[in-house]
Amino acid sequence: MHSGSLDLIGDAAAWRIVNDGVMGGVSSSRVSRAGDALRFAGEISLAHNGGFASMRRALDAGLAGGEPAGFVVRARGDGNRYRLRVYTRDPATGGERPFGYYATFETRAGEVTQAELRWPQFAATFRGRPVPEAPPVRFADVIGIGVMITKADHRDGRGPFAIDLLRIEPVGP
Q: How far is CA 161 from CA 32, 38, 39, 44, 61, in A?
A: 14, 14, 10, 8, 31
Q: 4 vs 58, which has greater pLDDT?
A: 58
- What is the reported pTM? 0.92
- Give me the chain's average pLDDT, please: 91
What is the pLDDT, as a whole number, of residue 4? 44
- Which carries the bigger pLDDT value, residue 21 or residue 1? 21
Q: What is the CATH number of domain 12-171?
A: 2.60.120.260
The closest of 143, 149, 150, 141 to 165, measured between CA atoms, is: 149
Question: Hey, which residues does 88 pair with through a beta bridge?
Answer: 142
- What does the pLDDT average to over 79-105? 96
Mean of pLDDT values over 70-88 = 97
Banded model confidence at residue 127, pLDDT cuts 50, 70, 90? confident
Q: What is the pLDDT of residue 65?
A: 59
Q: How confident is the model at residue 1 (pLDDT cuts 50, 70, 90)?
A: very low
Q: How far is CA 130 from the centre of its chain?
A: 17
What value does the mean pLDDT take over residues 42-47? 97
> For 128-151, what is the mean pLDDT?
94
Structure confidence at residue 6 (pLDDT): 61
